[in-house]
Amino acid sequence: MFYGFNPTWILLMVVSVALGGITQAYINSSFRRWSQVPLTSGLTGAQVAARVLEANGIDASGYGVQEISGTPRPRVRIQAVGGNLSDNYDPRDKTLNLSEGVFGASTVSAAGVAAHEAGHAVQDAQGYVWGRLRGALVPVASLGSRAAWILIIVGLLLGAASGVGYSVVVLGIVFYAFAVLFQLVTLPVELDASTRALKALEGTQTLEASQLGGARQVLTAAALTYVAAALISLLQLLYLLGFLSRD
């Protein structure tokens, strides 16, 4: 069990690397292409994100909750961060972090990415169920992704056919299963954020029809990376479970 270079495992690794590379190349290509197309409105990524937030009743000027006419209004801070496509929304401190190529850029790509991250902030403000579930899984998924393969390898070294080695391998697979579950839950969260982004961009008339199509392409490419990652992880998990069933 698990010993040697199993042809199925090698094929799975080749498919994983190829699928990951193709999807990453597609998103990079789409982002670069639409980064060359300026927004007719002249809005920067940060301004687009603020417009999406405001359209959903969220104040984009700072932290906490602001009282408006006696009604609590969620507040999100938009800030620039380093890196390439490092954009993210942090629900812990209500910050929407936009990369250098998005924050101050006035392009279709920047608008799409900024609106997508703003979509996550809207999910948080509205208590989106899948988003809350994903947040709850973060600690265990983080631990699982780090510990899974270490445990599996240790189990193999101890001898997977032995009682102790087998138990350690099983524990590693359980940890990996939580990481896979996290990636599966991430899919509806990301797809919903993109749907919200496109609706907001259209509803606020931030983009023209032709430019909206470009933003949709960028967001579709980004979604495919999550789909590919989840598929790869699920296939690896099924492979590991298949070996357990043969033991």
Q: For residue range 86-109, list pLDDT tens digits in order.
A: 999 999 999 999 998 899 999 999
**What are the tens digits of pLDDT across the range 133-182?**
999 999 988 888 889 989 988 887 887 667 788 889 899 999 999 999 99
Report whether 44 contacts 113 (CB < 8 A): no
Are the C-beta atoms of 27 and 222 separated by less than 8 Å?
A: yes
What pLDDT, on a 0 to 100 scale, did the predictor assign at position 72?
Answer: 64
49 has a pLDDT exceeding 70: yes
Model pLDDT, residue 1: 44
**How far apart are the C-alpha atoms of 97 and 121, rounded to whole Å?**
11
Query: Domains of the chain: which residue ranges?
Result: 7-246
Task: State the pLDDT at residue 247.
Answer: 55
56: DSSP letter: T
Mean pLDDT, residues 126-139 taken together = 93
In the block, residue with structure tokens 């670069």: 32
DSSP 8-class letter at 128: -
Mean pLDDT of 30-57: 93
Q: Are 195 and 216 in contact (CB under 8 A)?
A: no
The pLDDT value given to residue 82: 92
117 is an active site residue? yes
Helices marked H in 83-162: 100-103, 108-126, 129-158
Identify which has the larger pLDDT, 81 or 84.
81
List the catalytic residue out of 54, 117, 202, 208: 117
Task: Give the C-alpha separation, 226 to 183, whole Å.
Answer: 8
Question: Which contacts (CB < 8 Å, 24+ apart) does range 2-5 have?
Answer: 2/152, 2/156, 2/160, 2/169, 2/243, 3/156, 3/160
Mean pLDDT (the chain) is 87
77-81/95-99 β-pairing: parallel
* Tokens found for residue 117: 């991250």
